[in-house]
Structure 1
């Protein structure tokens, strides 16, 4: 299996293919907007906020991977959790699905040498390292989504994890 194949498999598992953990698609299946906005306390993030955060960072790194410009970041990492707060729930899901599809297609079309390039002149991290970290970041937050659903009793064992 090539490096590209490993990265593609990681993105597929985070997006649509439940494997060692539940995919995003499975984690949000049947979720209502009200459930997506639910928080156990004010210091927690909602599922909606987590997805906003994932879309924000995945889009920014995808743009960099494709040598496209990003707008100047306003705020800090905490503000990324409200990135899509004014959108409809279905649009939030579409945004996540689109950026994951775009990532998959961009990796699939890229030359192998791209993975050895540094992500910027200021960084010593290669695209291989960065993309691998992005998928781990996505998986971490997908786990949070499942945990939140368990806390609100909107998760069933049939969805994947007990």
Structure 2
């Protein structure tokens, strides 16, 4: 503590504060949404993001379900793919695709054989989202911020489920962030 006080005294407290302020731009809606998106997709901060949660899992492991009849990791990943893709298409003014309104269908389309394709498509969709948020103007973000923030929370929620299932199955490496 004494060294910190001495350092601040030597540099001049006001000068140190000015340097900190210079290096950090004020937050914008875009920067907040993009930071939130990244931490729920592939940038580990306070919690494990989706990309890290599904990394290294085999198709067989992705198909495993707990005995309480919850979803498998693969079904949850497919569900995230479905909703993130649908929302991205809507954001970009493209056809959202068909949807019956039955949310159970957004889990049921997963098969063990489709695991690698599901992971690849999810990665492509999420890369598309990152680019779309970064390129969007303020008016577009003002219109969409609620949907983007909810999507990010939805992704984080299901990532927690993925981690819980992987821990139950015994195929989660606690060194990746959750013990």
Report which stretch shifted further, 145-154 or 62-71.
Answer: 62-71
Following TM superposition, by how much is the alpha carbon of 1:87 offset from its aligned partner in structure 2, in angstroms?
5.0
Match among 59, 79, 90 for residue 64 of structure 1: 90
Whole-Å Cα distance in 1 between the matches of residues 110 and 66 of structure 2? 20
Partner of 2:155: 138
Residue segments in structure 1 that go unaligned for 5+ positions in a row: 118-126
Deviations 1:89-133 (A, max 9, x none): 21111011111100110111110111222xxxxxxxxx1111000
Question: What are the equivalent positions in structure 2 for 1:1-162 lying under 5 Å apart?
Answer: 1-41=27-67, 43-74=69-100, 76-85=102-111, 87-117=113-143, 127-162=144-179
Query: Which has the larger helix fraction?
Result: 2
Pairwise CA RMSD: 1.5
Deviations 1:28-76 (A, max 9, x none): 2221111100001363100000011111111111111111112221351
Report which stretch shifted further, 105-114 or 76-85.
Answer: 76-85
Residue segments in structure 2 that go unaligned for 5+ positions in a row: 1-26
Count of residues in Structure 1 that have an aligned counterpart in Structure 2: 153
- Based on CA coordinates, which of the two structures has the bigger radius of gyration? 2
What TM-score, normalized by structure 1, do the two folds share? 0.88
